[in-house]
Amino acid sequence: MFGTDGVRGLANETLTVELSVQLAQAAAPVLGADAFAAGRRPVAVVARDPRISGQFISAAVLAGLASSGVDVWDAGVLPTPAAAFLVGDLGADFGVMISASHNPAPDNGIKFLARGGQKLTDEQEDEIIQHLEVEHPLRPTGADVGRVRVFSDAEDRYVVHLLQTLPHRLDGLTVVLDCAHGAASGCSPDAFRDAGASVVVIGAEPDGLNINEGCGSTHLERLQEAVRAHGADLGIAHDGDADRCLAVDENGDVVDGDQIMGIMALALKDRGELRDDTLVVTVMSNLGLKLAMQREGVRLMETQVGDRYVLAGMKLGDYSLGGEQSGHVIFADHATTGDGVLTGLQLAARVAQTGTPLSGLAGVMERLPQVLVNVRGVDKSRAGEDAQVQAAVLLAEQRLGETGRVLLRPSGTEPVVRVMVEAPDEETARREAESLAEVVQRELRLHD
């Protein structure tokens, strides 16, 4: 039921009102266990992105929690990292974020956050699933039912927190923000303006249906055009729940998550804040990042894909910076999860502080051509065990030798198998990726 980032599905078909209530009621005794044991009602923060289905799903979650004896702060529309921050800032027992991140508007999801705004462990997720199967959930009565209160200054508290993290103001910079018609449409422009930047905003008119539609971190074309048209110093793109950030330099060229992590690793290293001179990344990060960090005296620690695994790796060594190529960047001294607004502010601050254009900062690494093919209509559960697929992977690796690499994995958030190939040139990478994708499509095809 739980993927790499909560429970996700088509709203009102797989993610229903009934399931939303049941998940909330199952999570309450697990994540509120310490409070119940101490004889008090647990406190939770609930937030959502602006997709239209979030209204009825949040109502269901609020009802499920309050009916289980949980006091709830309803924070309304907020980024995922804002919800995580508020859980810790309020000393709440847990939080719930209703979002499907970069997915289209018909999808939605429920993410639970443990005390401190932390991602759930596998054990906590398993325990919630076990409670989901209980026929008679906890049902207090009278004064023991939970209260629901509106959290009126949630966004302001988050913006104040973001501004307190900045090592340098953004005065003199012109920044274009693409908010993906998502959860950051209000707070991201406010934060950048308060930090001193001149701000041009696109993709900040959410209507409940246009989230991520042709904009944001999955569609950078409009941001590139806007940066060029306004002569901006840089552009920042969020996804629907603003837990990720990609950038565009002053020339309109894309700066991906690997480049952002490379830039920020050196920024923290210069300030003595990159603990153990280590950057935590996933296996999807470009080989060019690894080579660049070796040259700069920064060690890379690799994890499997998913920001929860990056976080686990960071906690293991008490590291201060980690993230994913997709733009989830985690500053452990300031956040418990990927934070697209925080990342954008920190990146802009580095440009302002050094006086170096973003294109120059991004030149710290040279990206090897990398082609990613998403194979749909297949049984992703068999991706790691099918003999023909594994043989095809081995052959591709042999052809590439030490000049590239192959990564094949089932997506944790979508019904697809991802085929990624790096090679010395684009043509070779694409040829190998498409050849391998054909094998995956043929061997793992779902039959009616």
Residue 47, domain CATH: 3.40.120.10
Least confident of 135-139, 232-236, 395-399: 135-139
Q: Is residue 63 domain-shared with residue 205, that is, in the same domain?
A: no
Q: Is residue 123 domain-shared with residue 244, that is, in the same domain?
A: no
User: What confidence score (pLDDT) does residue 403 get?
Assistant: 75
Q: Is residue 358 domain-shared with residue 378, that is, in the same domain?
A: no
Judge whether 85 lies within some domain.
yes
Residue ranges at the known binding site for Mg(2+): 101, 239, 241, 243
Residue ranges at the known binding site: 101, 239, 241, 243
Sign of CA dihedral 56, 412, 27, 335: negative
Judge whether 195 lies within some domain.
yes
Q: Is residue 173 domain-shared with residue 189, that is, in the same domain?
A: yes
Judge whether 1 lies within some domain.
no
List 101, 188, 217, 285, catalytic entry: 101
DSSP string, 208-235: SS-TTTT-GGG--HHHHHHHHHHT-SEE
Q: Is 320 a catalytic residue?
A: no
Q: Is residue 162 domain-shared with residue 252, that is, in the same domain?
A: yes
Round to whole Å and give the CA distance between 373 and 421: 9
Q: Is residue 31 domain-shared with residue 131, that is, in the same domain?
A: yes
pTM score: 0.88
pLDDT digits (tens, 9 = 90+) for 222-261: 999 999 999 999 999 999 999 999 999 999 999 999 999 9
Q: Is residue 167 domain-shared with residue 280, that is, in the same domain?
A: yes
**Owner of token pair 């647990």:** 42
Residue 98 CA, chain-centre distance (Å), reads: 13
Position 270 confidence tier, pLDDT thresholds 50, 70, 90: very high
Return the H-helix or E-strand segment holding 6: none
**For range 432-437, the mean pLDDT:** 95
Range of the domain at 418: 370-444
Structural domains counted in the chain:
3
For the cut 60, the answer to whether the pLDDT of residue 448 exceeds it is no
Query: Which segments of 299-364 does DSSP mark as H helices, in order?
Result: 307-317, 340-354, 358-362
Judge whether 227 lies within some domain.
yes
Boundary of a domain, candidates 316, 333, 362: 362
Cβ count near 17 (within 10 Å)? 17
Judge whether 349 lies within some domain.
yes
Question: Which tokens hold the place of 397?
Answer: 């690796």
Q: Is residue 11 domain-shared with residue 80, that is, in the same domain?
A: yes
